[in-house]
Structure 1
Amino acid sequence: MKYLFYIGSFLSCFAPAVAQEQVEDDGLGEIVGVFQRLPDTAADDSITVLATGQRGPIDRTGQSISIVTADELAQVQGPDITRVLERLPGVTSARSGPLGSQTSLFVRGANSEQLLVLIDGVRMADQAAPSGGFDLGTLLPAGIGKIELLRGSNSVVWGSDAMGGVLAVESDTRAGPRVNLEYGAHGTLVASAGGRVGDGGSWLALNGGYTRSDGISAKALGSEADPFRQWQGSASGRLALGGDLALVASTRYADSTIDFDGYPAPAYVFADTPEYQTTRQASGRAGLDYAGSTLRLAGGIAVSDTRRAYFDPTYGAAPNFTTAGRSLRADLTGQADLSDGLALDFGADSEWTRYSTTFDAQQNARLTSGHALLSWNRDALSLSGGVRLDDHDRFGSHWTFGANGAVRLGGGWRLRAAWGQGFKAPTLSQLYGYGANPLLRPEESESIDAGIERGDRNAPLHLALTLFRRDSRDLIGYTFPNGYFNTARARAEGIELEGGAHVSDRFTVRAAYSYVEATNRVTGTDLARRPRHAVSLSADWRAPLANLALGIDLRMVSDSFDDPANFQRIDGHALMALRASLPLGDHFELYGRVENVTDARYETAAGYGTYGRSAYAGVRLTW
Structure 2
Amino acid sequence: MKLKSLFRLAVSVSALAAASGALAQQAPAPDAAAPAASTEDSGEIIVTATRAPVAIDQVPASVTVLDKAAIDRSQDIGVTELLLRTPGITMSRNGGYGTSTSLRIRGAESDQTVVVIDGVKLNDPASTGGGYNFANLLTGDASRIEILRGPQSTLWGSQAIGGVVNIVTAMPEAPIEGSFDLEAGSRATVSARAAIGGRTGPLSWRLGGQSFTTDGISAIAPTFGGHETDGYTNRSATGRAELELATNLSVELRGYYSSGRVNIDSTSGDNPDFSTNKEFVGYAGVNFALLDGRFRNRVAYAHTDTDRDSFSPLRARALSFESNGQNRRWEYQGSFAFTQRISAVFGLENERSKFESRSPAGALATPLPPFATGDAEITSVYGQLSIEPVDGLTVNGGVRHDDHSRYGGQTLFSTGAVWRLPTDTILRASYGEGFKAPTLYQLFSEYGNVALDPEQARGWEAGVEQQLFDRKLSFGATYFERVTTNQIIFNSCSATSPSPLCLVPGSTTRRSGYYSNVSRGEAHGIEAAAALKLGGLTLDGNYSWTVAEDRSPGTANFGKWLPRRPQDSGNASVSYAFPFGLSTGAAVRWAGHSFDNASNATRLDGYALVDLRAEFAVSERFRLFARAENVFDEEYMTAYRYGTLGRSFYAGVRGRF
> TM-score higher than 0.5 here?
yes
User: Which has the larger Rg?
Assistant: 2
- Classify 1:566/1:312 alpha carbon distance in 2 versus 1 (closer, same or farther; 3 Å): same
1:316 to partner: Cα distance: 4.4
Q: Which amino acid aligns with 2:241?
A: G
Residues 1:535 and 2:539 are matched in the alignment? no
Q: Is the CA contact 1:35–1:57 (under 8 Å) kept in the aligned structure 2?
A: no
Aligned counterpart for 1:587 among listed residues 612, 621, 625: 621
1:307 to partner: Cα distance: 0.2
Q: Which amino acid aligns with 1:400?
A: L
CA distance in 2, matches of 1:152, 1:401: 13
CA distance in 1, matches of 2:238, 2:386: 34
Aligned to 1:376: 387
Q: Is the CA contact 2:596–2:603 (under 8 Å) kept in the aligned structure 1?
A: yes
Compute the RMSD of aligned alpha carbons.
Answer: 2.0
Residues 1:553 and 2:587 are matched in the alignment? yes
Q: Which amino acid aligns with 2:160?
A: A
SS at the partner of 2:230? coil
1:586 to partner: Cα distance: 2.3
CA distance in 1, matches of 2:233, 2:472: 39
Aligned counterpart for 2:74 among listed residues 53, 73, 76: 76
Aligned to 2:197: 196
Aligned to 2:642: 608
SS at the partner of 1:410? coil
- Classify 1:250/1:390 alpha carbon distance in 2 versus 1 (closer, same or farther; 3 Å): same
Aligned to 2:269: 271
Aligned to 1:43: 38
1:33 to partner: Cα distance: 5.5
- Classify 1:112/1:33 alpha carbon distance in 2 versus 1 (closer, same or farther; 3 Å): farther
CA distance in 1, matches of 2:471, 2:263: 42
Q: Which amino acid aligns with 2:329?
A: R
Residues 1:234 and 2:238 are matched in the alignment? yes
Q: Which amino acid aligns with 1:209?
A: Q
1:437 to partner: Cα distance: 2.2
SS at the partner of 1:339? coil
Q: Is the CA contact 1:395–1:440 (under 8 Å) kept in the aligned structure 2?
A: no
Aligned counterpart for 1:134 among listed residues 132, 135, 143: 132
1:405 to partner: Cα distance: 0.5
1:341 to partner: Cα distance: 1.4
SS at the partner of 1:128? coil
CA distance in 2, matches of 1:465, 1:107: 16
Q: Is the CA contact 1:35–1:56 (under 8 Å) kept in the aligned structure 2?
A: no
1:489 to partner: Cα distance: 1.1
CA distance in 1, matches of 2:327, 2:474: 39
Once the two structures are superposed, residues 536-566 of structure 1 have per-residue CA deviations (whole angstroms, 9 ceiling, x without a partner) of 001110123x311101110111111111100
Once the two structures are superposed, residues 502-544 of structure 1 have per-residue CA deviations (whole angstroms, 9 ceiling, x without a partner) of 222x111211111001101022100111111111001110123
- Classify 1:317/1:187 alpha carbon distance in 2 versus 1 (closer, same or farther; 3 Å): farther
Q: How does 1:41-190 map to 2 (within 5 A)?
A: 43=38, 46-51=45-50, 53-175=51-173, 176-190=177-191
1:315 to partner: Cα distance: 1.2
- Classify 1:248/1:184 alpha carbon distance in 2 versus 1 (closer, same or farther; 3 Å): same
Q: Which amino acid aligns with 1:368?
A: T
CA distance in 1, matches of 2:595, 2:243: 51
CA distance in 2, matches of 1:164, 1:40: 25
Q: How does 1:483-522 map to 2 (within 5 A)?
A: 483-504=514-535, 506-522=536-552
Once the two structures are superposed, residues 390-446 of structure 1 have per-residue CA deviations (whole angstroms, 9 ceiling, x without a partner) of 011111111111001011112432111000001111111112112322232211110
Aligned to 2:399: 387
1:317 to partner: Cα distance: 6.7
CA distance in 2, matches of 1:346, 1:413: 30
Q: Is the CA contact 1:155–1:421 (under 8 Å) kept in the aligned structure 2?
A: yes
CA distance in 2, matches of 1:618, 1:414: 40
1:451 to partner: Cα distance: 0.6
CA distance in 1, matches of 2:606, 2:87: 17
Residues 1:249 and 2:253 are matched in the alignment? yes
Select between 35-44 and 130-139 the one with higher mean Cα deviation: 35-44
CA distance in 1, matches of 2:27, 2:459: 23
SS at the partner of 1:142? coil
Q: Percent identity?
A: 33
Q: Which amino acid aligns with 1:330?
A: W
1:480 to partner: Cα distance: 3.5
SS at the partner of 1:167? strand
Q: Is the CA contact 1:34–1:382 (under 8 Å) kept in the aligned structure 2?
A: no
Aligned to 2:448: 436
Q: Is the CA contact 1:34–1:343 (under 8 Å) kept in the aligned structure 2?
A: no
Aligned to 1:526: 561
1:455 to partner: Cα distance: 5.9
Select between 349-358 and 336-345 the one with higher mean Cα deviation: 336-345
Aligned to 2:299: 299
Select between 212-221 and 411-420 the one with higher mean Cα deviation: 411-420
Select between 437-446 and 270-279 the one with higher mean Cα deviation: 437-446
1:144 to partner: Cα distance: 1.2
1:374 to partner: Cα distance: 1.5
Once the two structures are superposed, residues 61-83 of structure 1 have per-residue CA deviations (whole angstroms, 9 ceiling, x without a partner) of 21111111111111111313332
1:199 to partner: Cα distance: 5.8
- Classify 1:95/1:149 alpha carbon distance in 2 versus 1 (closer, same or farther; 3 Å): same
Q: Is the CA contact 1:179–1:192 (under 8 Å) kept in the aligned structure 2?
A: yes
Q: Is the CA contact 2:417–2:430 (under 8 Å) kept in the aligned structure 1?
A: yes
Q: Is the CA contact 2:172–2:204 (under 8 Å) kept in the aligned structure 1?
A: no
1:478 to partner: Cα distance: 2.3
CA distance in 2, matches of 1:586, 1:138: 32
Aligned to 2:314: 314
SS at the partner of 2:108? coil
1:320 to partner: Cα distance: 1.8
- Classify 1:295/1:465 alpha carbon distance in 2 versus 1 (closer, same or farther; 3 Å): same
Once the two structures are superposed, residues 131-157 of structure 1 have per-residue CA deviations (whole angstroms, 9 ceiling, x without a partner) of 111111110112111111111001111
CA distance in 1, matches of 2:326, 2:196: 29
Structure 2: 5+ residue runs without aligned partners? 1-22, 359-369, 494-500, 502-513, 553-557
Residues 1:619 and 2:653 are matched in the alignment? yes
1:318 to partner: Cα distance: 4.1
Query: Structure 1 length normalisation: TM-score?
Result: 0.90
Once the two structures are superposed, residues 566-586 of structure 1 have per-residue CA deviations (whole angstroms, 9 ceiling, x without a partner) of 001111011000000111122
Query: Structure 2 length normalisation: TM-score?
Result: 0.86
SS at the partner of 1:178? strand
Q: Is the CA contact 1:412–1:455 (under 8 Å) kept in the aligned structure 2?
A: yes
Q: Is the CA contact 2:116–2:122 (under 8 Å) kept in the aligned structure 1?
A: yes
Q: Which amino acid aligns with 1:93?
A: M
